[in-house]
């Protein structure tokens, strides 16, 4: 029997929405069979079902961004001096990578979303070694504080994306 999904409470939804407004992720991928973590700027894809990253082929982490490759991405709130680091709100998202093919409607939509968030990156879209990738989210785990953790579903991400401005 399937368990019913419990919707995010308003406070947790607010925390998740704030995390999706952060600017960088710690992205974990497999490169040559070993784990590798890179720090990348990200934008949120349509309906928050994916994170969008624009990465150089010269970067080691990009070798782990092949079609269907697994990823894990961590987004966390800023650390405040003197604060308990275990209380920093964070969300870890896992799923599969999808390289986006230039010239397709999905690529153009993702490019536009990324440029709204990072207009200064327009010049890197002109460089041949850069690619745009959708990190398709399968599941996640939101930690709001000590003993305050819950699973995050695509439904949760969709609900948060519909409730917040683009």
**DSSP per-residue letters across 64-109:** G--TT-EEEEEEEPPP-TTS-GGG--EEEEEEEEEEEPTTSHHHHH
pLDDT at 1 over 50: no
Q: What digits encode the pLDDT tens for the residues 32-65?
A: 999 999 999 999 998 789 999 999 998 999 999 9
The superfamily CATH assigns to domain 24-76+88-163 is: Electron Transport, Fmn-binding Protein; Chain A (2.30.110.10)
pLDDT given at position 165: 55
Q: What digits encode the pLDDT tens for the residues 150-165?
A: 999 999 999 888 876 5
pLDDT bin (cut points 50, 70, 90) of residue 4 is low
SS3 content of the chain, % helix, strand, coil (to 5): 30, 40, 30
pLDDT given at position 166: 47
Distance CA 124, CA 115 (A): 11
Q: What digits encode the pLDDT tens for the residues 104-148?
A: 999 999 999 999 999 999 999 999 999 999 999 999 999 998 888
Could you say which DSSP state residue 140 is in?
Answer: E
pTM: 0.91
**61 — phi, psi (to 5°)?**
-65, -25
pLDDT given at position 75: 97
Q: What digits encode the pLDDT tens for the residues 71-113?
A: 999 999 988 888 888 899 999 999 999 999 999 999 999 999 9
């Amino acid at each position: 029997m399937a368990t019913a999904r419990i919707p995010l409470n308003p406070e947790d939804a607010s925390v998740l929405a704030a995390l999706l407004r952060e600017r960088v992720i710690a992205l974990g991928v497999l490169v040559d069979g070993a784990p590798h973590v890179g720090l990348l700027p990200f934008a949120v894809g349509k309906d928050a079902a994916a994170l969008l990253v624009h990465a150089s082929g010269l970067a080691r982490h990009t070798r782990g961004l092949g079609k269907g490759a697994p990823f894990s991405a961590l987004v966390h709130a800023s650390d405040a001096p003197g604060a308990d680091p275990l209380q920093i709100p964070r969300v870890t998202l896992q799923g599969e990578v999808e390289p986006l093919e230039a010239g397709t409607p999905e690529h153009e939509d993702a490019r536009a979303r990324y440029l709204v968030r990072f207009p200064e990156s327009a010049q890197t879209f002109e460089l041949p070694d850069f690619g745009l990738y959708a990190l398709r989210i399968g599941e996640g785990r939101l930690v709001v504080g000590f003993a305050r953790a819950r699973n995050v579903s695509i439904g949760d991400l969709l609900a948060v994306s519909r409730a917040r401005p683009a």
